[in-house]
């Protein structure tokens, strides 16, 4: 398999890996209504992150298998893995590569305390030599599987302070990575302060000085596709990763204006057919969730409810509809409530 990163149109856009958000149900909806309509060759999907240690335990591996489910429509798709044990990273990446992913990304940016306590995620910023061993282990794992796919890294500008950037990025670019995604905040800052895109310039210099061809992806506070395009142009990064901005907008990676994207208009002007389409897509989203993920398989239906908040807003009757949807336990109940709401709208 060739390096898909080299074939992307620039600037390209990435769906951020978000736990209990970017699962197969959400990705399939985005692939159908967004990615494959206009930007197939410039959109990359990430899975939710999966623990390398867990994939090395037979029982845990079975429980985690849903994270690594994907459909062909989602390509190119990158599996994201985290861990601080090189041996387990090698084994995990061998298994992941055997599943046919287009690439593997190592999470070195997660600020979650339980992840950092393991020395993984953004905890690796404190141990750059171990981080390099983790990247090397990922390559060994891929090679042992017989696959030939690229490795990338997603991280932050530092752990406690921005001054760590030069040292940290300088160590990462010594390794064989095809792409580097930078969340433009420190671990300590979480998402409590604005992302500082001015750091992109310095990171580009570090990559250039390394003499390597490493694609740079900026991440943080991207509102919509137009904002992503303007940030790529202004700061000169190769791609932009979007997280929270994608919520509730199955058309995110297209030029289509829907609901909250219609600027300067009150909610009274939002067309009923646009609202109908969006709510029908929400039904479809929950149906895929039920089929692929709903317990007793993997997840509780409550996971879907964060999507309800994102899909159902900024239109007359949204609050009342959302309250009813929060009481549901499956896609059939969601379908009945939405159909009743749409019937009353006619």
Domains in the chain, ordered, with CATH? 4-246 (3.20.20.70), 259-345 (no CATH)
Q: Return the pLDDT at 38.
A: 67
Sign, CA torsion 61/64/69/74: negative
- At residue 237 the predicted structure's pLDDT band, cuts being 50, 70 and 90, is very high
What gap in Å lies between CA 328 and CA 301, rounded to an integer? 8
The CA-atom distances, in angstroms, between 25 and each of 85, 131, 244, 295, 309 are 30, 32, 17, 14, 17
Q: Return the pLDDT at 182.
A: 97
Instruction: Give me the catalytic one of 56, 93, 110, 237.
Output: 110
Nearest to 179 by CA among 208, 219, 152: 152
Within its chain, how far is the Cα of 40 from the centroid? 16
- At residue 266 the predicted structure's pLDDT band, cuts being 50, 70 and 90, is very low
DSSP secondary structure letter of residue 290? H
> What is the secondary structure of 69-123 as a DSSP string?
---GGG-SEEEEEE-S-HHHHHHHHHHHHHTT-SEEEEEE----HHHHHTT-GGG
pLDDT in tens, 148-167: 999 999 999 999 987 789 99
Do the annotations mark residue 154 as ligand-binding? yes
Do the annotations mark residue 244 as ligand-binding? yes
The CA-atom distances, in angstroms, between 310 and each of 23, 110, 248, 319, 328 are 16, 23, 4, 12, 16
- At residue 1 the predicted structure's pLDDT band, cuts being 50, 70 and 90, is low
* pLDDT more than 70, % of the chain: 94
56 catalytic per annotation: no
pLDDT in tens, 103-135: 999 999 999 999 999 999 999 999 999 999 999
Q: Return the pLDDT at 259.
A: 42
pLDDT in tens, 298-345: 899 999 999 998 999 989 999 999 999 999 999 999 999 999 999 987
N- to C-terminal Cα distance for the chain?
A: 51
Find the radius of gyration of the CA atoms of the chain. Answer: 20
Average pLDDT of 88-109? Answer: 98
Q: Return the pLDDT at 314.
A: 87
Average pLDDT of 75-92? Answer: 98
Average pLDDT of 87-101? Answer: 97
Judge whether residue 261 has pLDDT over 60: no
Tally of CB atoms within 10 A around 162: 16
H helix or E strand, kind and range, residue 325: helix 318-325
| Location of structure tokens 């790529």 | 232
Q: Return the pLDDT at 297.
A: 81
Q: Return the pLDDT at 118.
A: 95
What gap in Å lies between CA 322 and CA 319, rounded to an integer? 5
Q: Return the pLDDT at 27.
A: 96
Do the annotations mark residue 243 as ligand-binding? yes
- At residue 255 the predicted structure's pLDDT band, cuts being 50, 70 and 90, is confident
> What is the secondary structure of 204-236 as a DSSP string?
HHHHHHHT---EEEEES---SHHHHHHHHHHH-
Task: Look over the chain and give the mean of its residue pLDDT values, rounded to a whole number.
Answer: 91
Burial class (CB in 10 A: 0-12, 13-18, 19+), 190: exposed
- At residue 263 the predicted structure's pLDDT band, cuts being 50, 70 and 90, is very low
CA quadruple 220, 238, 146, 70: dihedral, nearest 10: 50
Which residues make Cβ contacts (< 8 Å) with residue 79, sequence separation at least 6? Answer: 46, 47, 50, 68, 96, 99, 101, 103, 104, 105
What gap in Å lies between CA 84 and CA 285, rounded to an integer? 34
pTM for the structure as a whole:
0.92
The CA-atom distances, in angstroms, between 67 and each of 99, 123, 232 are 12, 22, 30
Judge contact between 173 and 206, C-beta under 8 A: yes
- At residue 274 the predicted structure's pLDDT band, cuts being 50, 70 and 90, is confident
H helix or E strand, kind and range, residue 50: strand 43-51
Q: Return the pLDDT at 295.
A: 84
Q: Return the pLDDT at 39.
A: 67
């Amino acid at each position: 398999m060739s390096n898909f990163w080299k074939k992307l149109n620039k600037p390209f856009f990435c769906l951020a890996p978000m736990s209990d958000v970017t699962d197969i149900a959400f990705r399939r909806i985005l692939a159908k209504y967004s990615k494959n309509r206009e930007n197939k060759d410039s959109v990359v999907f990430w899975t939710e992150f999966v623990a390398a240690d867990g994939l090395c335990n037979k029982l845990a591996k079975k429980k985690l298998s849903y994270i690594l489910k994907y459909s062909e429509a989602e390509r190119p798709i990158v599996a994201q893995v985290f861990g601080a044990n090189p041996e387990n990273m090698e084994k995990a990446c061998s298994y992941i590569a055997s599943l046919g992913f287009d690439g593997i990304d190592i999470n070195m940016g997660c600020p979650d305390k339980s992840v950092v306590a393991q020395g993984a995620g953004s905890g690796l910023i404190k141990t750059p030599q171990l981080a390099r061993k983790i990247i090397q282990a990922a390559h060994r794992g891929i090679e042992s599987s017989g696959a030939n796919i690229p490795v990338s890294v997603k991280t932050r500008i530092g752990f406690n302070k921005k001054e760590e950037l030069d040292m940290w990025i300088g160590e990462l670019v010594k390794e064989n990575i095809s792409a580097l995604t930078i969340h433009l905040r420190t671990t300590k800052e979480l998402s409590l302060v604005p992302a500082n895109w001015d750091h992109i310039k310095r990171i580009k210099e570090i990559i250039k000085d390394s003499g390597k061809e490493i694609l740079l992806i900026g991440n943080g506070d991207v509102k919509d596709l137009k904002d992503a395009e303007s940030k790529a142009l202004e700061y000169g990064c190769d791609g932009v990763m979007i997280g929270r901005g994608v919520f509730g907008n199955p058309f995110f990676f297209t030029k289509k204006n829907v609901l909250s994207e219609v600027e300067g208009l009150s909610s009274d002007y939002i067309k009923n057919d646009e609202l109908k389409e969006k709510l029908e897509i929400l039904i479809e989203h929950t149906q895929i969730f039920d089929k692929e993920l709903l317990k007793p398989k993997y997840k509780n239906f409550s996971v879907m409810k964060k999507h309800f908040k994102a899909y159902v807003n900024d239109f007359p009757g949204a609050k009342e509809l959302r309250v009813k949807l929060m009481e549901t336990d499956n896609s059939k109940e969601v379908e009945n409530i939405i159909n009743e709401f749409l019937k009353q709208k006619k």
